[in-house]
Structure 1
Amino acid sequence: MAARDALTRNQICVLERLEVATGPLSAYTLLDQLREQGFRAPLQVYRALDTLINAGFVHRLESLNAFVACAEEHDHGHGMAAFAICDRCGQAAELSDHAIEHQLEDWVRSTGFQPKKAVIEFRGTCGKCLAEAA
């Protein structure tokens, strides 16, 4: 993971906004929330997000077209991330298990496929929302 002190001002603004968010944020929501910090165009947000994703600080949730700060200090060089996304409250919990990661990579490679990135998203209801509904 890249050093946080190597980030630009815009990248830090985007990362800090994602770190305090209560759920995933779209690029346009980030733009709206960062206007007071001088953000004026979507390209400013997208450039910052691209760098943050490549550095392992941020993940893109494909099904939501939204972004979350990485929840844990772990290596993202492997290119696999898994999330449990609550359809009720919008929380996205990051999941990491090296044994499962290696099993999935072995399974995919056994077909002759060379994976470079995987984002696994589970959609459903989180434990907190289930408890509140009971």
Structure 2
Amino acid sequence: MRKQAATRQSDVLNVLRTHGKPMSAYDILDKMKVAEPELAPPTVYRALSALTDQGRAHKLESIKAFVPCRCAHEASVPVLAICDACGAVEEHDGTPLLSQLDQISTQSAFNASRHIVEIHGQCRDCSTS
């Protein structure tokens, strides 16, 4: 039985929200295979691609993982603070950065299609431990 794309995206987003930490596509696939053993990787990749295009999930390029979007930032820049110790990700609204990033792109005649800022370090809990 084939699920509709919107339903599949919802399933993937629910797995991301439930897990609470960044997940690779294969981590998501493993969780979903419990209920659907026949599920194939392309199905998860298509859902993740659609979710990131819609801004409902973010791909953490530096660690090849995904997190659900937790902010409303249609014309903004998600700033994702990634804890290298525990893997927690905090999402911040980077609206003030957008004009500066656009200016940098314009200076080099670069046509940016999206902006994502990743900051690596330690979260408050890990830095005080």
Range into which the TM-score falls when normalised by the shorter chain: 0.7 to 0.9
The separation in 2 between residues aligned to 1:73 and 1:116, in whole angstroms, is 18
User: Per-residue deviation at 1:19?
Assistant: 1.2
The separation in 1 between residues aligned to 2:59 and 2:124, in whole angstroms, is 23
User: Per-residue deviation at 1:113?
Assistant: 2.1
TM score, norm. by length of structure 1: 0.83
The residue aligned with 1:96 is 93
Q: Larger deviation: 57-66 or 103-112? A: 103-112
How many residues were matched structurally? 125
Percent identity over the alignment is 34
What value does the CA root-mean-square deviation take over the aligned residues? 1.9
Structure 1 outlier segments of 4+, above 3 Å: none
Q: Larger deviation: 105-114 or 24-33? A: 105-114
Unmatched 5+ stretches in structure 1: 1-5
TM score, norm. by length of structure 2: 0.86
Local SS of the residue matching 1:11? helix
The residue aligned with 2:66 is 67
The separation in 2 between residues aligned to 1:7 and 1:41, in whole angstroms, is 14
User: Per-residue deviation at 1:7?
Assistant: 6.1
Equivalent residue letter for 1:89 = C
Q: Residue 116 of structure 2 is aligned with which of 119, 127, 131?
A: 119
Residue 54 (structure 2) pairs with residue 55 (structure 1) = yes
